[in-house]
């Protein structure tokens, strides 16, 4: 899928219709292959596909740690490795690639602008701001935190900016930074999910960098209802929201997604340190070891969802970890259990889960693109010219998709 940087697409151009066609194609492909990505190896020892495709299962389980790391780190390499076993994945490849958006040079705000912004976040802000292009209306920054993005855009295009943020401490800090930078930026301490946010949207260019779940979905719907002239959103954490089921913007789609499946779209990380990975692997192994013990005690082989744990439990022994969990879950366990046996089972299961999950992981980007196309199609049907593309490299953030919409000026709203 390719696009140009022009903001003047009419609603009858091939681009506007391309989003609907691409969404329908991807919807069919993902629906037809649901048996490959819906089962979760963490919760199921062997999904149906693993018995139907024994060669694939064996090849996955035989991967070395270094081979696992390479395939986990590169979506393209993972697809190329999997396609000989799963030819259906070949049709998904063309839906994984989005264009890299062109950028506009930004105003140099001097060294003081970036002193309070972590390096990776600053790179994301600058990349987003550059990809947005010309801004011709006052700006409303959605869930803006300290207003770093808003300040950058306001300085670059000489537009006033309103930053909507729930945390009063972030608002206070942002007001101080705006005053120091002499930026026309006002902060409103409101919950953007409440009706208080609606009056700020008409005649404003809405921007949101990594607004999670219901936060970006609410902005899209309210900005459209407000006939906002422009919207730029980089979505994040699609699974966060009040509903356990995803309600598509577009009608007539086959795919039904629950919260766990929405989470799959954003499980890729590229910023974890070696230490983070170590703790992640240990937590998974110990949880799986505990789950084996729980199933034996309860006599049930069904996985039981587990609430987040206290991370300090990981610094003790496996025995104390299980005892803390059992106390919280009100499970009676004998302290004389063979703890090394269950810990060994946990680590074996962790090794299998990481490898068998690679097939499911191959569908992460297609699922995310499906979610983005759903929004793009919705905006197109509501008289917006829409462009989607990557505003930065994956190494900066895996959530690097920008949805950029401009309301068609030829539409008569009266």
Q: How many CB atoms lie within 10 A of CB 279?
A: 14
Q: Would the pLDDT of 295 be above 60? A: yes
pTM value is 0.91
Q: How far is residue 336's CA from residue 331's CA, in Å, rounded to a whole number?
A: 15
Please report, for residues 65, 321, 335, 372, the alpha-carbon distance to residue 345 in angstroms, rounded to integers and kept in the order given.
Answer: 18, 15, 18, 39
Average pLDDT on 270-283 reads 84
Q: Which domains does the chain show, CATH number per domain?
A: 111-268+364-407 (3.40.50.150)
Task: Identify the DSSP state of 366.
Answer: H
- Residue 198 corresponds to which tokens in the numbers above? 């609606």
**Look-up: residue for tokens 């979610």?**
371
Burial of 310 (0-12, 13-18, 19+ CB in 10 A): exposed
pLDDT of 118? 82
Q: Which helix (H) or strand (E) holds 130?
A: helix 119-132
pLDDT per residue over 211-229, tens digit each? Answer: 999 999 999 999 999 999 9
Mean of the per-residue pLDDT values for the chain? 91
Q: How far is residue 384's CA from residue 410's CA, in Å, rounded to a whole number?
A: 11
Strands 161-165 and 185-189: parallel
Radius of gyration of the chain (CA): 24
pLDDT of 3? 38
pLDDT per residue over 94-104, tens digit each? Answer: 887 899 999 99
Do 37 and 49 meet the contact criterion of CB atoms below 8 Å apart? no
pLDDT per residue over 154-173, tens digit each? Answer: 999 999 999 999 999 999 99
**Look-up: residue for tokens 């199933």?**
295
């Amino acid at each position: 899928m390719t696009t140009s940087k022009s903001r003047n697409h009419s609603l009858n151009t091939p681009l506007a219709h391309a989003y609907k066609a691409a969404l329908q194609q991807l919807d069919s492909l993902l629906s037809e292959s649901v048996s490959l990505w819906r089962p979760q190896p963490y919760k199921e020892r062997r999904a149906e596909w693993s018995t139907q495709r024994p060669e694939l299962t064996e090849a996955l389980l035989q991967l070395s740690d270094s081979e696992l790391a390479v395939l986990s780190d590169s979506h393209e390499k993972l697809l190329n490795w999997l396609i000989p076993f799963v030819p259906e994945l070949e049709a998904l490849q063309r839906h994984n690639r989005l264009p890299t958006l062109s950028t506009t040079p930004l105003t140099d705000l001097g060294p003081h602008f970036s002193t309070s912004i972590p390096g990776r976040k600053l790179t994301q802000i600058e990349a987003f701001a550059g990809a947005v292009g010309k801004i011709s209306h006052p700006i409303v920054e959605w869930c803006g935190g300290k207003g770093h993005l808003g300040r950058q855009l306001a300085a670059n295009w000489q537009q006033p900016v309103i930053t909507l943020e729930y945390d009063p401490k972030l608002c206070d800090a942002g007001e101080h930074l705006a005053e120091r930078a002499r930026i026309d930026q006002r902060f409103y301490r409101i919950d953007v999910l409440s009706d208080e946010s609606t009056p700020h949207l008409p005649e404003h260019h809405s921007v949101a960098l990594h607004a999670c779940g219901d936060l970006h979905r609410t902005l899209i719907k309210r900005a459209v209802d407000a006939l906002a002239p422009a919207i730029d959103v980089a979505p994040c954490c699609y699974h966060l929201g009040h509903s356990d089921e995803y309600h598509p913007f577009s009608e007539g789609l086959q795919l039904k997604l629950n919260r766990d499946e929405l989470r799959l779209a954003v499980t890729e990380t590229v910023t974890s340190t070696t230490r983070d990975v170590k703790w992640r692997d240990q937590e998974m192994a110990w949880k799986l070891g505990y789950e084996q013990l729980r199933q034996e005690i309860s006599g049930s082989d069904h996985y039981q969802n587990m609430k987040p744990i206290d991370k300090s439990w990981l610094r003790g022994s496996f025995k104390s970890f299980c005892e803390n969990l059992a106390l919280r879950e009100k499970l009676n366990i004998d302290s004389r259990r063979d703890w090394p046996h269950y810990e060994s089972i946990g680590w074996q299961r962790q090794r299998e889960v990481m490898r068998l999950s690679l097939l499911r992981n191959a569908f992460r980007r297609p699922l995310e693109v499906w979610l983005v196309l759903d929004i793009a199609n919705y905006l197109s049907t509501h008289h917006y010219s829409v462009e989607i593309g990557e505003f930065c490299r994956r190494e900066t953030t895996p959530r690097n998709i920008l949805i950029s919409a401009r309301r068609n000026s030829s539409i008569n709203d009266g």
